[in-house]
Amino acid sequence: MSIKKSEIQLDVNGRKVNAYLASPEDAGSGILLLHAWWGLKPFFKEVCDRLAEQGYVALAPDLFNGRVAKTIDDAKELAQRSESDSQNLGDTVMASKDYLLSLTKNKIGVLGFSFGAAWALVAAAHDPEKIAATVLFYGAYPDMDFSKVKSKILGHFCEVDEWEPIEGVREMEKYMRAANVGATLHFYPKVAHWFVESDRPEYDPASAQLAWDRTFEFLNTSLRRSNP
């Protein structure tokens, strides 16, 4: 499938924010991609391309204003700096969501990776009528209020993860169930955080392929049911 790849700018309260947009010839539903604490590195743009090849309009905002971390320490600093201005970060996520909705006119999905996963859940709670599918890659938000979430949720987590302990993920799952949120969480053995990211040493090809197979099946089912 032929896809169009574009570097665009979004207007966020008068502030210009860079974003990557990948679109198929026949635009279907939209997918908002929220990157991990590395920043908008090439891998996440490649994921947008992959989504577009599956028929989705994929948009990935740059939450770190062009900064991309090479090391974990650099990534920690970027995440901490960004979270110190959570209002701007939240405004960027919501403006990106609204822009994507303007392109597709349909309900959309959200993919969040680690740092971005919590913001994917925030977006799902913020606009429950428009977000029909949410995918979490090794990122959780146990303390969130799930009462407004209507999106179906799919999660990919590690059985042992120093960055996202399973206890917190199970706690989040409990709160989701209590709020009657339809959630399916998968736990992958013998893999580490970032296991789906092909540019990381933690990358596990077999587990990553399984996660992507499950993700595309979930997106196709959830968004097809939600959009006529």
Which pLDDT score is estimated for 28?
78
228 pLDDT more than 60: no
Helices (H), 54-151: 72-83, 86-104, 115-126
Going from N- to C-terminal start, the domains of the chain cover 3-226
Alpha carbon distances (Å) from 138 to 15, 22, 70, 183, 196 = 30, 24, 19, 14, 10
Would you say residue 99 has pLDDT above 80?
Answer: yes
Tell me what pLDDT residue 225 has. 64
For residue 48, pLDDT over 90 is answered with: yes
Mean pLDDT score, 168-179? 96
Residue 18 binned pLDDT confidence (cut-offs 50, 70, 90): very high
> What's 3-226's CATH class?
alpha beta
pLDDT value for 25: 84
Tell me the pTM.
0.95
Tens of pLDDT, residues 103-140: 987 899 999 999 999 999 999 999 999 999 999 999 99
The sheet with strand 3-12 has its strands ordered as 3-12, 15-24, 57-61, 30-34, 108-113, 131-137, 152-158, 183-188
Q: Is 156 helix (H, G, I), strand (E, B) or coil?
A: strand
- pLDDT score for 12: 94
Q: pLDDT band at residue 176, thresholds of 50, 70 and 90? A: very high
Task: Tell me the angle at which helices 86-104 and 72-83 cross, rounded to the nearest 10 degrees.
Answer: 90
Query: Residue 226 has what pLDDT?
Result: 61
The chain-wide mean pLDDT, for the chain, equals 94
In one-letter notation, the amino acid at residue 27 is A
